Each structure stands twice: as C-alpha cells, then as structure tokens.
Amino acid sequence: MEAKEESLRVGEISFTNTRNLYYYLRKLCREPGIRYLKGTPAQLNCLLRSGEIDLCVSSSIEYAYDSSRYLVLPGYGIASRGPLPSIRLFSRVPLERLDGATICLTTESATSVALCRVLLGRLLGQENRYVTLSADLEDGLDEAEGLVLIGDRALAANPRALQFDLYIYDLSLLWQQLTGLPFVFALWIIREDSALAAGELLSRFWRALIRSHELIADPDEELIRSVLADRNYFTRQSLLDYWNLIAYELTDDHLAGLELFYRLCHESGILQRPAEVRFFDPEKNISAA
C-alpha cells in the first residue's frame, strides 16, 4: 500500500495585520505539501471547524466554542499592546448613550463581536440589540446607532468617521482600561486530529513560524511597498507604526486576559462553559513521535 502523501492546509487571514507574517511564512515554508487558503477570520473559522484546513491564526473565541477539537501552538497570536486602530466601534452618540441602542456587528470576525458584547453588556451594564451585517461605515450607521468594524475596513473607515464627527471607540483599549489586561484576538489553532497526525511538514512550518516572528521586526522594503500599493490609507510610517502596535508574541498577561475574556463570555451566555487553553508543542511532540 502506498503511503499517504503528507499535507498541511494553512489558513491565511487576508488583513494587513498578518500580511507581514504570511509574507515570510510563504518565503520560508514553500514545501509542495503545504497549501495556504486565504479568507477573513470568520471564513477561516468555518474552514477550521469543518476540517477543510488544519491550522490557522484564528479567532480566539473560535477555540473556546469547541476547545475539545482544537489545540493551540504556544507563544504566538494576534494581540494588543494597548490601542489598536483596526478594532473599532463607530457611533453616532457617546458610549454612555448607547444603552438600549442597536449595534451593527461585522460579519468578518467572531472575537470582536464577542468582545463588544462583553464590554457593553457585562462590563458597562448596557442592554443592546445586536444585528449582524456586512456593511461599510455609512450603510452600517443607517441601520444602527453603533457599528463594529475590524481589519482593513476599520482602518479605511477611521478618517471618514472623523469627517462625519462620529464617536470612535478602540475596543482593545477599552478592554485594557476596564480590566487592566491586554486582549488576545487570535491564537495559532490546530485541529487536534491534524496535530496527532502531524509529520515533518508541521515541524518545518513551526520552525518557519518562529523565524517569521523574528523577521517581522524589520520588514523588507518589498513587503512594505506591496502593502502600500493597495492600502492608500497608509503611509510608510503609519504602516510600520500599525504593525508595532500589534503583539505577535503572547505574554503571561495576554494569557491572563484571555482567561478573563473566556470567563466573561461564559457569564454573558456567549459560551456554554469557560475554555481552558490546551497547548501543542510541535517540536516536542513531532520529534518524540
């Protein structure tokens, strides 16, 4: 019987916040068995859940929805150091007047949606009606008093919101102000069945992931030019400043913030139970196999 050809299907978020990371991953890890599939965080969550991809830097809430099927690659993710201009609540009224208002939630993210509900409902004591729409700034605020946008949609909306005299709230900064902890938006999640069948491809990907995190500290000019070519809301310096605002390596404080987020999601009825993070170490597990 022929041995089954080894493969690894990797989800790739198509946002600026990970463009730097995947730029290096694709250069360092180009083995024939590795496939990269692009999508929004919400799209990749579905592919991970259905087994159509093996791993992804995916929404932290996706892990918690069914932690029994997933493991987390240690040390890395997408988190805040404080303010983060790509996770925003835009509003026609001040935050304190949103109690009882309708909030339009993005279809592109699960974590930011849960974060907004925790912030407004659990931490600020508001009661809101939520609707989910794929909308830009103007259309979303035609439907609701507040609108949550993430990623490049939020980045593009920031200057327009200032022109319209809208209120802009940074959800990661609001979380930090209310809890004293940073926020974790995404984790490197691998399906447990994929991890258990892991071979040399995953080991190579893991080593490339470690090296990629070293390289993003001083990004190539080719990478910078490619982003600026189709992101006209950035200058070279504002792009570098944006990447520097993101924490790609997770600290103990990030994990404490993640644990608190899961608990508050449970108390808010978003999760059936608080999730406990289970880690998978590719170097240890694969070399021991």
Length of the chain: 289
pLDDT of residue 285: 67
Residue 76 has pLDDT above 50, yes or no: yes
8-81+183-288 against 87-179: fold identical: yes
- CB atoms near residue 215 (< 10 Å): 17
The dihedrals phi and psi of 277, each to the nearest 5 degrees, come to -75, 125
Structural contact between residues 13 and 217, judged by C-beta atoms closer than 8 angstroms: no
Residue 119 has pLDDT above 60, yes or no: yes
Residue 1 has pLDDT above 50, yes or no: no
8-81+183-288 is classed CATH 3.40.190.10: yes
Which of the pair, 165 or 180, is modelled with greater confidence?
180
Residue 67 has pLDDT above 60, yes or no: yes
pLDDT tens-digit map of 250-282: 999 999 999 999 999 999 999 998 889 999 988
pLDDT of residue 3: 43
Strands (E), the chain: 8-13, 34-39, 55-59, 70-80, 87-91, 102-105, 129-132, 146-150, 167-170, 184-191, 246-249
pLDDT of residue 5: 66
pTM beyond 0.85, yes or no: yes
pLDDT of residue 288: 44
* Domains of the chain by residue range: 8-81+183-288, 87-179
The mean predicted confidence, pLDDT, of the chain is 90
Closest to 254 in 3D by CA, of 175, 189, 169, 174: 175
How far CA 273 is from CA of 61, 67, 131, 204, 249, in Å, comes to: 12, 10, 24, 35, 26
Mean pLDDT score, 135-164: 83
Going by pLDDT thresholds of 50, 70 and 90, the confidence category of residue 121 is very high
Q: Which CATH number fits domain 87-179: 3.40.190.10, 3.40.50.720, 3.40.50.1000, 3.40.50.1360?
A: 3.40.190.10
pLDDT tens-digit map of 12-64: 998 999 999 999 999 999 888 899 999 988 899 999 999 999 999 999 999 99
Structural contact between residues 102 and 143, judged by C-beta atoms closer than 8 angstroms: yes
Going by pLDDT thresholds of 50, 70 and 90, the confidence category of residue 199 is confident
Going by pLDDT thresholds of 50, 70 and 90, the confidence category of residue 2 is very low
Tokens of residue 202, six digits: 């995953």
pLDDT tens-digit map of 201-241: 899 999 999 999 999 999 999 999 999 998 888 999 999 99
Cα torsion 235, 237, 242, 243 to 10°: value is 120
| CB-facing half-sphere around the CA of 171: CA atoms within 13 A | 29
pLDDT of residue 103: 93
